Amino acid sequence: MKVAILGIDGYIGWALALRLLRNGHEVVGVDSLYTRKRVEEVHSGSITPILDINKRIDEASKFFGGKINYYQGDVNDPEFIYHVIGKELPDSIVHLAEQRSAPYSMIGLRQARETLIQNMGGTINLVYAMKDLVPKAHLLKLGTMGEYGTPNIDIPEGFFEIEYNGRKDTLPFPKFAGSWYHWSKVHDSNNLMFANRLWGLRITDVMQGVVYGTRTKEISDSGLYTRFDIDEVWGTALNRFCVQAVLGMPITAYGRGDQRRGFLSLEDSIACLMLGLEKPAGENEYRVYNQFDEHYSINEIAEFVKDGGEKILNKEIEISHVPNPRLEKEQHYYNPEHKKLRELGYKPARNLREDVNDIISDVQKFSENARKYRDRVAPKTIWRESAGFLN
Ligand code: USQ
In a domain, 136, yes or no: yes
Pairing of strands 260-265, 294-297: antiparallel
Beta-bridge mates of residue 262: 295
In a domain, 75, yes or no: yes
Instruction: Quote the pLDDT of residue 18.
Output: 98
Handedness of CA 364, 366, 372, 377 (dihedral sign): negative
pTM here? 0.98
Distance of alpha carbon 131 from alpha carbon 25, whole angstroms: 23
Say what percent of the chain tops pLDDT 70: 100
Shortest CA distance to 227 belongs to which of 353, 369, 116? Answer: 369
Catalytic residue status for 164 = no
Give me the mean pLDDT over the 316-333 stretch.
98
Shortest CA distance to 126 belongs to which of 104, 95, 98? Answer: 95
Tens of pLDDT, residues 93-129: 999 999 999 999 999 999 999 999 999 999 999 999 9
Tens of pLDDT, residues 247-298: 999 999 999 999 999 999 999 999 999 999 999 999 999 999 999 999 999 9
Give me the mean pLDDT over the 184-210 stretch.
98
- Taking the centre of ligand 1 as the mean of its atom positions, its distance from the CA of residue 69, in whole angstroms, is 32
Pairing of strands 159-164, 167-172: antiparallel
Give me the mean pLDDT over the 239-246 stretch.
98
- Interacting residues of 141 by C-beta distance below 8 A, sequence separation 6+: 94, 95, 123, 188, 192, 203, 204, 205, 206
Query: What one-letter code names the amino acid at 161?
Result: E
Residue 327: strand, helix, or coil: coil
- Interacting residues of 289 by C-beta distance below 8 A, sequence separation 6+: 157, 204, 205, 206, 207, 272, 276, 338, 340, 341
Select which of 11, 185, 306, 373 is catalytic: 185
- Mutation choice for ligand 1 from 210, 296, 382, CB with most ligand atoms inside 8 A: 210
pLDDT of residue 305 exceeding 90? yes
Distance of alpha carbon 298 from alpha carbon 300, whole angstroms: 5
Q: Within 13 Å, how many C-alpha atoms sit on residue 316's CB side?
A: 3
- Taking the centre of ligand 1 as the mean of its atom positions, its distance from the CA of residue 52, in whole angstroms, is 27
Q: What is the CATH number of the domain that holds 155?
A: 3.40.50.720
- Taking the centre of ligand 1 as the mean of its atom positions, its distance from the CA of residue 315, in whole angstroms, is 27
Instruction: Judge contact between 259 and 297, C-beta under 8 A.
Output: yes
Distance of alpha carbon 183 from alpha carbon 67, whole angstroms: 36
Which residues sit with their C-beta closer than 6 Å to ligand 1? 100-102, 144-146, 182, 208-210, 236-237, 240, 252-254, 259, 261-262, 298, 326, 328
Tens of pLDDT, residues 17-75: 999 999 999 999 999 999 999 999 999 999 999 999 999 999 999 999 999 999 999 99
Distance of alpha carbon 141 from alpha carbon 97, whole angstroms: 9
> Which domain does 41 fall in, by range?
2-235+264-294+335-350
- Could you give the maximum distance between any two Cα atoms of the chain, in Å? 63
pLDDT of residue 223 exceeding 90? no
DSSP 3-state percent helix, strand, coil across the chain (nearest 5): 45, 20, 35
Select which of 48, 144, 214, 236 is catalytic: 144
Instruction: Quote the pLDDT of residue 73.
Output: 98
Beta-carbon count within 10 A of 24 CB: 10
Select which of 181, 286, 346, 373 is catalytic: 181
- Interacting residues of 344 by C-beta distance below 8 A, sequence separation 6+: 275, 276, 279
Q: How many domains does the chain have?
A: 1
Catalytic residue status for 144 = yes
Average pLDDT over the chain reads 97
Long-range (24+ apart) CB contacts under 8 A made by 77-86 are 77/125, 78/125, 78/128, 78/129, 81/30, 81/122, 81/125, 81/126, 81/129, 82/125, 82/129, 82/132, 82/133, 84/4, 84/28, 84/30, 85/4, 85/126, 85/129, 85/130, 85/133, 85/134, 86/129, 86/133
pLDDT of residue 391 exceeding 80? no
Shortest CA distance to 115 belongs to which of 126, 101, 127? Answer: 101
In a domain, 304, yes or no: no
- Taking the centre of ligand 1 as the mean of its atom positions, its distance from the CA of residue 183, in whole angstroms, is 14
Instruction: Give the model's confidence band at 390: pLDDT under 50 very low, under 70 low, under 90 confident, else very high.
Output: confident
Query: What one-letter code names the amino acid at 248?
Result: G
